[in-house]
Amino acid sequence: SIVEQELLTKRVQVILEKCFDYFERLDLFQDTDYDKFSLLYRLLQKIDHLEICAKYFTAYVKKKGSSIMNAKTSVKERIMMLSAFETQTDEMVDHSFEGDDQFADGLKDGIEYFVNLRENNAIKLLAKYTDSVFKSAVYEEGLLEKAMFLFRYLQAKDTFEMVYKRDLAKRLLLNTTHKQGEKAMLAKMKKICGAGYTGKMEGMVKDIEKSAELMHEFNAVVLLLFNQATTFTFKEILVSTQLDELELRRVLVSLACREHKLLIKYPEGQEIEPTDTFVWHDGFQTDKSTFSMIAATLSEVIEKDAHLDTPVLFAREQQMDAVIVRIMKSKGTLSHGQLLNEVTCLVSFPVTAQEIKKRIEVLIDKEYLERSLHDSYRYLA
């Protein structure tokens, strides 16, 4: 109609700019009036201008998400804001835009853009946040869920795996984590990436749990020895218990060098020496009904700032080689462009044409492939 032509069609760009400017000022933590956006959707649907609206929506998601990612606020505040933003835009698509595929795809593209714009930024943010959740005095699983959308959209999951594995090892070795929380996080990652992604990390948690059980048994073995006498030298305990010397040192640190001293060490000190003597602490008292005998931790063998680039790149190169060989074995012959497209679709991380080309050259040198006519490659059986 003429009214629609004059009031809507000719003013679509102005209307959209004003609407998305309004979106920018929305409070992420207050209820949103989705009816207003439903009205916009229905009006633009009438004049067949939803496609341009979806483009504005995607641009808005990219801009707003990027600004939150780069905000000079705490790690927790950024995660809370990103989670609220994802919830708000997701509900906007469902309620205001009636689940329209154009807007759903636009939301996905927008989130993928700002999460992976600077992949190390997202990886560090997610790793620092999960680390703080596990180290907090009280573990809340709901806090983990708020960060999982970042993981779902993260393309460089292999790099995050290396960072997370390093932090997990440190938390487990230093006993500064909630075991149930670690298992919950691994279960969430496993659901998204499969058992192969989390297998080694699950093994680390099981190993630590088994180690803790053994440490309790070792503590008991040493303490039972003092039923026979009240004083033993280190060497006497070593011979009587038949424990590994390193394990015995850790046990004796937990029994004689911590807050609750069941044994008294002579001479005093935190280091266990072969010449030390240990005496049963007959006058030991505590007002606690239960207390923990914390074993000596291994030294911090995993450095906080250890370089991860080399193992990540090596793992990526191996995966690219395997994918290229598998594709060429199946196809026999492929053009350079076709091979690039196939590899890009199958690898589990972002990759450039130059990186793929380097791996092709390596496989040619190893005689897995050979160059053929018209810029193509042939598989060598």
Q: Mean pLDDT over residues 4-11, rounded?
A: 65
Stretch among 66-70, 310-314, 331-335 having the lowest mean pLDDT: 310-314
Task: Check residue 300 and give its pLDDT.
Answer: 32
Question: If DSSP codes are grouped into helix, strand and coil, which group holds residue 118?
Answer: coil
pLDDT of amino acid 119: 74
Distance CA 263, CA 198 (A): 41
Where does the chain have alpha helices with state H?
2-7, 12-24, 34-46, 50-69, 75-91, 101-116, 119-135, 141-153, 157-174, 179-193, 195-225, 234-241, 245-256, 309-331, 336-346, 353-365
The one-letter amino acid code at 234 reads: F
Residue 309's pLDDT band (cuts 50, 70, 90): low
pLDDT in tens, 72-100: 999 999 999 999 999 999 999 999 899 99
Span 272-299, pLDDT tens digits: 888 899 999 887 777 665 555 555 544 4
What was the pLDDT predicted at 306? 44
Q: What is the CATH number of domain 309-379?
A: 1.10.10.10
Rounded to two decimals, the pTM is: 0.64
- pLDDT > 70: percent of the chain: 90
Name the more confident of 222 and 301: 222
pLDDT tens digit sequence for 124-174? 999 999 999 998 878 888 888 888 999 999 998 988 998 999 889 888 877
Between 3 and 173, the more confident residue is 173
pLDDT mean across residues, the chain: 84
Q: How high is the pLDDT of residue 291?
A: 54
**Alpha helix locations (H) across 136-259?**
141-153, 157-174, 179-193, 195-225, 234-241, 245-256
6 has a pLDDT exceeding 70: no
The sign one gets for the Cα dihedral 87, 93, 96, 98 is negative
Burial class (CB in 10 A: 0-12, 13-18, 19+), 106: buried
Predicted local distance difference test score (pLDDT) of residue 85: 92
Q: Please identify which residue in the block is written with the tokens 């341009």.
A: 52
8 Å CB contact between 323 and 347: yes
In the chain, list all ranges with CATH 1.10.10.10.
Answer: 309-379
pLDDT, tens digit (0-9, with 9 covering 90-100), for 187-221: 999 999 999 999 999 998 888 877 777 777 888 88
d(CA 135, CA 171): 8
Q: How far apart are CA 258 and CA 69, in angstroms?
A: 43
The terminus-to-terminus CA distance of the chain in angstroms comes to 68
**Are the CB atoms for 336 and 378 separated by under 8 Å?**
no
CA distance 9 to 4: 6
Is the sign of the CA dihedral 229, 234, 238, 239 positive or negative? negative
Return the pLDDT at 7: 63
- Least confident residue range of 8-12, 47-51, 171-175: 8-12
Close Cβ partners of 261 (under 8 Å, ≥ 6 residues apart): 255, 281, 284
Tell me the pLDDT band of 1, cut-offs 50, 70 and 90.
low
Question: Residue 268 is which amino acid?
Answer: E
User: What was the pLDDT predicted at 299?
Assistant: 41
Query: What span, in angstroms and rounded, lies between the C-alpha atoms of 123 and 116?
Result: 9
CATH class, range 2-117: mainly alpha
Most confident of 5-14, 230-239, 284-293, 369-378: 230-239
Can you give the pLDDT at residue 113? Answer: 95
Q: Which CATH architecture has domain 226-280?
A: Orthogonal Bundle (1.10)
The pLDDT, as a whole number, for residue 105 is 96
CA pair distance 4, 162, nearest whole angstrom: 56
